[in-house]
Every structure is written in structure tokens, then in C-alpha cells.
Structure 1
Amino acid sequence: MAIISPNNNIDEIPNLVFLELSNGASKKKHPFKNVVLTTINENKPKSRWVVFRKLSLEKNLLVYTDFRSKKIQELRKNLKCGLLFYNNKQGLQVHFNASYKIHHNNELTKRYWQGIAGSSSENYTTFYPPSTPINTINDGHKIDKNLSDRYFSIIEFCPSDMSVLQLSREGHIRANFVRVNNKWKGSFIVP
């Protein structure tokens, strides 16, 4: 069943999208739990799946990463990026262009680090930085025994515009939105 229907007016769509994003951040099996993050590396787009962790009160999107990762380097070189969510069960695609803030060794990362349990913390405590060439698979799993938050970081994406596509047998619905003073202004466009 579609999330957005022809009965929805343009002003209702952002609320429906952000409700789905909230569900994606809080429910492990929700299709919006994973998102494609696209950055620019040497003038080429670089896309990868990341885990969507939280929707802030300001409607910003939070993702965890190792501070040494290539995505951090790529974001620092180019201040813009894209995030693509897709709910294959309900046919909803949402794309954001966004700026970002990198949080590292600050109050926010300290607070969220407390909630990372067990083996999940190992994702941010490997001996070698992500993307380092290794000789054996096991070399990539060597961890800092202290399980410190030294490399743990949070990328807070601040969406500037949003493109929404609802696929439906009854007719696709598409709309574009721009964020103005924390409100979404939009219009329908041809799918």
C-alpha cells in the first residue's frame, strides 16, 4: 500500500516522509533503516550504503561512522552530498541534497557512544582505518582492546531539498521540496 496517495495535498507530504524516516531510524527491519549516501571523490560520485541511526528534532539525519573513513575525507573536500532512501515494500523513494556537520569527540558523540553495545562498538575501534589494504581478512578485524570512542563520529546531515517519488499502480506521484526556515515548500511535478 502506498504511503502517499492522490488525496494528500502538497503540505502533507513532508510529514508523511518524516514519519517514515522516524520509523526507519527506530525499527531494525524498516526499509529506511539503510540509506545510500553519495559523496564526491576526485570529481566522481561515490555511493555506499550506511545505517540511518536517528532523525533529530530539527529533522536532520544522523549516521555513525569511523572518523578515519574515506567518506569523512570526501565530505570535507565537497560540502554537499546526497542521501537516497527507498521503501521497496511501499514504493516510496526519497532523495535529499544535504550539507552536514561532523561530530567527533564532543558531547553528542560521548552520549551516543554509551548506547552502542557489544560487538557494534568494534565497527569504530579497528586497529587499521577503513579501506586500508590488508594481507588477510582477519587483519581487518583487529580491534583496540579498550573499545574506546576515539574514532567514533556522527555525521549530521542537514537536508536542503527533497525529491519524493511514490510509485503506485494507480499512478505515480512526484514532488520536489526546498527547506526554507525549517519548513518545506514544495510542488508536484510530472513523475
Structure 2
Amino acid sequence: MIQDLFKELTAELRLGASKKGHPFRYFALATQGLQNDIGLRTVVLRRVSPEFHLTFYTDSRSSKIKELNKNQHISALFYHPKKLFQLKVEGKGQLVTDRQLIENHWKNVPTKARRDYTVFIPPGSTIKSPEAIDYLQDKNHFAIVNLIPQKFEYLKLGRPNHTRVQFLPHGNIWKGTYLIP
């Protein structure tokens, strides 16, 4: 039973990365801010590796990159409203530095979406209006981050009981423990 729940959570993650419109496609990502506050934003799940590393893209000048450089510990929160299923993932954020891998991903970014990574000034900078954005022609600030999970926490709301399970890695397998919801 408990391993079926792990299969469910990994299947939903894979669907989130591959199926547009799936509730896990967009997720909340939390980092420790530079002022010891919490940085929270929504990112797009791009890929789930066989080891369950979760990949998302960002601008290399974004606050999340600065925060990851200070503290790699991050959390992600996914929610499936129809299934009343919440998944919390805790782990380490790892910035991809392999230039060839970055280039391969960049080639697969749709042309319209590339603009998000070619803005002249960094994200969060003040501008006069949304039309006042200048774009670079031959340069980008595209970055790839992998969330390396260290813990999954599964929560399914239901009657007569909610189900909450914590999964931790033990060698090459993830072992689950039931928790009070």
C-alpha cells in the first residue's frame, strides 16, 4: 500500500513535466531569502529524471539563484485540486553548469519563451511600464536548476481519514512512514 502511494506521487510528477495543463506543471518553490526571509515563487516543472530530480528554468540573475548560492536548501509544493493531493518536496537546489547540457535545453525552449531569458536588465528591476522592456539580441541569461529531493511528503485529503506519508531515501529506494495528517 505505502509503495503504491510513492508510485502515485512519481507518476503525477512525471505527468506534470510532460502534460500541459496538469496541476503539477506549475509549483511553488521556496528558498531562504538573502535577508533570512522566505523567497516564494511559482516555477514550471520541465523534467523529472529517473532519480526524481526536478528540473526548472530561470534567469541566471534572478533572486532565486542568489538565494541558492547562499543556501541550497529549497522546498517545493504541488497541489492537485481534483484528487485533493498535496506533495511537498524538500531537497537541494543545484545549478546546472554543464555548458553543453544548457545549450541542449536552450535549443528546446520555444522562440516565444526565449524572450524571458533575454531581458536586458535583471528580474525585479524597476521599469516605467511593461512596454519598457529591452531585449538582448545575441545573449541570454538562461539557467537550469535541479531540485535534488531529500524528502517527499504525500498528503491526500479524504474520508474517513486523510493519508500522510513521509518518504526518505535509503540507498536506491524510497521508504515511506505514515504520519498523523
Q: Normalising by the residue count of structure 2, what TM-score does the alignment of the two structures yield?
A: 0.94
Task: List 4+ stretches of structure 1 deviating above 6 A.
Answer: none
1:96 to 83, 89, 105: 89
Indicate conservation of the 8 Å contact 1:37/1:83, yes or no.
Answer: yes
Specify the alignment match of 1:160 in structure 2. Answer: 150
The Cα offsets for residues 43-91 of structure 1, whole Å up to 9 and x where unpaired, read as: 1112111111110122100000010100000111112010001011111
Equivalent positions of 1:95-174 (< 5 A) are: 95-104=88-97, 106-139=99-132, 141-146=133-138, 148=139, 150-174=140-164
- Aligned equivalents of 1:91 and 1:112: distance in 2? 33
Specify the alignment match of 2:170 in structure 1. Answer: 180
Indicate conservation of the 8 Å contact 2:72/2:94, yes or no.
Answer: no
Q: CA deviation at 1:108?
A: 1.5
Specify the alignment match of 1:13 in structure 2. Answer: 5
Indicate conservation of the 8 Å contact 2:156/2:162, yes or no.
Answer: yes
Identity across aligned pairs (percent)?
33
- Aligned equivalents of 2:171 and 2:98: distance in 1? 29
The Cα offsets for residues 134-187 of structure 1, whole Å up to 9 and x where unpaired, read as: 122222x321123x4x31111011000111100123421111111222321111
- Classify 1:138/1:56 alpha carbon distance in 2 versus 1 (closer, same or farther; 3 Å): same
Specify the alignment match of 1:24 in structure 2. Answer: 16
- Classify 1:181/1:107 alpha carbon distance in 2 versus 1 (closer, same or farther; 3 Å): farther
Indicate conservation of the 8 Å contact 2:29/2:74, yes or no.
Answer: yes
Give the aligned residue type for 1:135: K
